[in-house]
Amino acid sequence: MARIIPIAHDTEKAEAISAATEVLLRHLPVAIPTETVYGLAADATHPTAITSIYETKGRPRFNPLICHMADLAMAERYAVFDPISRKLAEAFWPGPLTLVLPLKENSGIHPLATAGLDTVGIRVPVGFTAELIRSLGRPLAAPSANSSGRISPTTAQHVDADLGQKIEVIVDGGPCPVGVESTIVKVEDGEIRLLRPGGIAVEAIESVTGKPVVRPKASGTAAIEAPGMLASHYAPNAAVRLKATEVSAGEALIAFGPDDISGAAAAHALFNLSPTADLTEAASNLFDYLKRADASGATGIAVMQIPDEGLGEAINDRLMRAAAPRGTEG
Ligand code: TXA
Ligand code: MG
């Protein structure tokens, strides 16, 4: 059973760093809080460590992992930065932006972490995890800390319920403030390509760089660019119905904004992502409310329409995956 270690006070934090470091040095994974979602982290330079992530999650191994760094200087030891990527790193790190960059030769990042690609997805997370990386002195590969195909965890309790029997340590940093995974971009020939919408809005990237962000042309393109982007992901057990304009008896409703829809009062359970229609608040509540709606015993989950701008793009991406036919990614 996992030991759950809080980090509210400095003494707890020091204890969490030393306990997590000790497990990582044995090439086993630990669950860590980040600003986006909880990660299942292990030493990105060690094959046994990376294999233990795939095994714990039951995740397909052709899927490259994001490597987390303590800061930009550390990232530059492993990857080659073009000027636009460096500008993005300076603007958004630490924070929910992942850059796909060419790997340096003999970088030390193990090919199992990158699925043998000559590029690596890198981000610098906020807070505790950056301190842990500094303590270990090595990058941490970390996908979301959930079984493959399940909804990503945004609290230590979510992690414990899913993986608590399989891992030794869960560091409890409280609810993740952003609530959806990082935005992934790749700069190629001076063009910024969006591989996954996430916690940094595309508009913010465009405003920092003065360049348009190029979205994948059709659904399916992203699956090739970012190999983890298979259609079904974030799958609850109950069927998910999008852009609902009414609720049927027995369904749970995930609402957005101040307005009611027909049947809302009789919904099996009701969760409002943001009564004031704030997309940032909605993103932070998304995975928790999906899990709760799923656990409510509802026959299905109806979700109201969410605007497709700002963080709404990431929310709609995750909802489409939750509603898609079931696959095996995670
Ligand atoms: O917010 C996040 O990014 C969370 C937290 C824990 O940091 N991490 C996360 O990692 O979502 P993961 O491993 O689940 O997401 C990896 C995604 C996959 O879709 C993968 O295909 C893509 O990043 N990716 C990683 N390396 C890549 C590369 N070299 N080229 C293209 N896509 C890459
Ligand atoms: Mg995931």
| Residue 231: predicted pLDDT | 54
pLDDT over 50 (residue 329): no
pLDDT tens-place string over residues 82-139: 999 999 999 999 999 999 999 999 999 999 999 999 999 999 999 999 999 999 999 9
- Ligand 1 atom with the smallest distance to the CA of 178 is 1
**Measured distance CA(100)–CA(80) in Å, rounded:** 10
Q: Alpha helix locations (H) across the chain? A: 10-25, 47-57, 72-78, 83-92, 111-114, 128-136, 156-163, 202-209, 221-225, 279-295, 312-323
Q: Region 213-241: what's the mean pLDDT?
A: 68
Q: How far does residue 203's CA lie from ligand 1's centre (Å)?
A: 21
Average pLDDT, integer, range 188-217: 96
Tens digits of per-residue pLDDT, 42-63? Answer: 999 999 999 999 999 997 777 8
Average pLDDT, the chain: 93
Q: Report which of residues 234 and 265 the model is more confident about.
A: 265
Classify 33 as helix, strand or coil: coil
In three-state secondary structure terms, 71 is coil
Parallel/antiparallel/unpaired status of strands 140-141 and 39-43? antiparallel
The pLDDT of 295-323, averaged and rounded, is 96
Pick from 58, 59, 62, 93: which is nearest to 79 by CA? 93
Asked if residue 39 has its Cβ within 6 Å of ligand 1, the reply is yes
User: Which three-class secondary structure state does DSSP give residue 77?
Assistant: helix
- Across the range 250-255, mean pLDDT stands at 97
What is the DSSP code (8-state) at residue 283? H
Domain extent listing, the chain: 3-225, 239-323
Q: Is the CB of 310 under 6 A from ligand 1?
A: no
Ligand nearest to the CA of 111: 1
Q: Is the CB of 98 under 6 A from ligand 1?
A: yes
Q: Spell out the CATH class of 3-225.
A: alpha beta
Higher pLDDT, 260 or 17: 17
Closest-approaching ligand to the CA atom of 182: 1
Residue 221: is its pLDDT beyond 90?
Answer: no
Tell me, in angstroms, the distance from the centre of ligand 1 to residue 123's CA.
9
- Positive or negative CA dihedral for 74, 98, 189, 63? positive
The yes/no answer to whether this complex scores an ipTM above 0.95 is: yes
Q: Give the pLDDT of residue 232.
A: 55
Spatial separation of the C-alpha atoms in residues 159 and 157, rounded to whole Å:
5
- Examine domains 3-225 and 239-323 and report if their fold is the same: no
Terminal CA-CA length for the chain = 22
Q: Say yes or no: CB of residue 32 within 6 Å of ligand 1.
A: no
CB 42 within 8 A of CB 65: no
**Is residue 1's pLDDT more than 80?**
yes
The pLDDT value recorded for residue 219 is 53
Q: What is the mean pLDDT of residues 38-45?
A: 98
Residue 227 alpha carbon to ligand 2 centre in Å: 12
pLDDT at residue 59, rounded to an integer: 79
Share of the chain above pLDDT 70, in %: 93
Superfamily classification of domain 239-323: Threonylcarbamoyl-AMP synthase, C-terminal domain (3.40.50.11030)
Nearest CA to 29 out of 120, 21, 96 is that of: 21
User: Atom 18 of ligand 1 has which residue's CA nearest to it?
Assistant: 228
Q: Is the Cβ atom of 182 under 6 angstroms away from ligand 1?
A: yes
Q: List residues forming the annotated binding site for ATP.
A: 59, 63, 119, 144, 152, 196, 234
Query: Regarding predicted confidence, which is higher, 324 or 178?
Result: 178
For the Cβ of 226 lying below 6 angstroms from any atom of ligand 1, the answer is yes
